């Protein structure tokens, strides 16, 4: 009697068919994921950025002062170099001749060739005002980088003709009033001289940095201004 065997059982049975197709043969691929890099601490990075910006902004100023004080004018300046420079007082009350208030910061941003008539504007005062105007014109293409400032103490009166001469021409001066005490707390004459005998040069940051000799000669004073304009050619721009 023969036994029949089930073809689906036993050691010799074939594997059951499947409906899922096998993947085709091909190269093995690997996926590489980006590893996150540690970032700088944001506050620390911000501080470095701030210092870099400050350095870039200060570099022309440092270079121009180095050129002006050390390389070019040290020992050769006609005027008196003011060291350390003296900042424009933030609390100085300025007004127009008509009495309107003027912000102190409005004087910044331009070189200022400054004159202070310390008493009634006589012949000597008018000579200094004329020299102030001529020195600016003598700078030629650089004249727009230099403003004329007249600071009138509160106890000094200008005549209508003098006011018209200062404000009515093609390149008028900036004429402002301030208390005598405030002006003398910032600008100073040379020992033994009066304020009205000098011209004072103020940089675009509002720092007094040069004083002319008493009753200056225009030629040597012009050379000081020309050296200064060359030293800071990349610093300021024409017009305020």
Provide the pLDDT for residue 107: 94
Tokens of residue 217, six digits: 């000669």
Of 71 and 129, the structure prediction assigns the larger pLDDT to: 129
SS3 percent helix, strand, coil of the chain, rounded to 5, is 35, 15, 50
3-state secondary structure (DSSP) of residue 119 = coil
Contacting residues for 84 by C-beta, under 8 A, at least 6 apart? none
Q: What is the mean pLDDT of the segment spanning 37-42?
A: 52
3-state secondary structure (DSSP) of residue 183 = helix
Provide the pLDDT for residue 156: 94
- Number of domain units in the chain: 1
214 lies in a domain?
Answer: yes
Q: What is the mean pLDDT of the segment spanning 209-229?
A: 93
Does residue 57 have a pLDDT over 50?
yes
Q: Where are the alpha helices (DSSP H) in the chain?
A: 42-66, 123-138, 160-167, 180-184, 218-231
User: Cα(150)–Cα(214) distance, rounded to whole angstroms?
Assistant: 17
Q: How confident is the model at residue 20 (pLDDT cuts 50, 70, 90)?
A: low
User: Cα(202)–Cα(132) distance, rounded to whole angstroms?
Assistant: 13
User: Cα(239)–Cα(82) distance, rounded to whole angstroms?
Assistant: 25
219 lies in a domain?
Answer: yes
- Identify the burial level of 238 via C-beta atoms within 10 angstroms of its C-beta, where 0-12 means exposed, 13-18 middle and 19 or more buried: exposed
78 lies in a domain?
Answer: yes
Of 180, 175, 162, give the one whose Cα is nearest residue 114.
Answer: 175
23 lies in a domain?
Answer: no
Q: How confident is the model at residue 71 (pLDDT cuts 50, 70, 90)?
A: very low
Q: Domain range spanning residue 138?
A: 43-231
Provide the pLDDT for residue 210: 95
User: Cα(59)–Cα(62) distance, rounded to whole angstroms?
Assistant: 5
Of 4 and 134, the structure prediction assigns the larger pLDDT to: 134
Least confident of 70-84, 89-103, 172-186, 203-217: 70-84
Provide the pLDDT for residue 116: 97
Q: Among all chains, which residue has been given the structure tokens 């005027």?
A: 79
Instruction: Encode pLDDT of 101-135 as tens digits.
Output: 999 999 998 899 999 998 889 999 999 999 999 99
Does residue 184 have a pLDDT over 80?
yes
150 lies in a domain?
Answer: yes
Q: Compute the residue count for the chain.
A: 240
User: Cα(224)–Cα(58) distance, rounded to whole angstroms?
Assistant: 23
208 lies in a domain?
Answer: yes
DSSP state of 72: I
32 lies in a domain?
Answer: no
Q: What is the CATH number of the domain that holds 202?
A: 3.40.30.10
Provide the pLDDT for residue 105: 94
Contacting residues for 139 by C-beta, under 8 A, at least 6 apart? 145, 146, 222, 225, 226, 229
């Amino acid at each position: 009697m023969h036994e029949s065997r089930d073809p689906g059982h036993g050691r010799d049975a074939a594997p059951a068919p499947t409906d899922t197709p096998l993947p085709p043969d091909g190269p093995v691929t690997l996926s590489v994921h980006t590893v996150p890099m540690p970032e700088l601490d944001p506050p620390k990075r911000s501080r470095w950025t701030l210092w870099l910006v400050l350095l870039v902004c200060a570099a022309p100023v440092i270079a121009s002062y180095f050129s002006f004080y050390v390389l070019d004018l040290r020992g050769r300046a006609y005027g008196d170099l003011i060291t350390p420079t003296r900042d424009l007082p933030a609390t100085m009350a300025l007004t127009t001749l008509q009495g309107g208030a003027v912000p102190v910061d409005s004087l910044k941003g331009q070189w200022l060739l400054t004159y202070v008539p310390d008493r009634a504007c006589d012949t000597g005062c008018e000579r200094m005002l004329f020299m102030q105007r001529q020195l600016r014109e003598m700078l030629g293409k650089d004249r727009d980088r230099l403003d004329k400032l007249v600071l009138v103490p509160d106890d000094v009166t200008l005549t209508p003709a003098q006011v018209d001469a200062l404000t009515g021409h093609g390149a008028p001066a900036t004429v402002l009033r301030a208390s005598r005490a405030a002006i003398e707390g910032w600008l100073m004459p040379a020992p033994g001289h009066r304020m009205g005998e000098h011209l004072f040069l103020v940089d675009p940051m509002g720092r007094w940095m040069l004083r002319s000799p008493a009753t200056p000669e225009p030629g040597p004073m012009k050379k000081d201004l020309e050296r200064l304009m060359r030293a800071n050619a990349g610093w300021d721009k024409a017009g305020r």
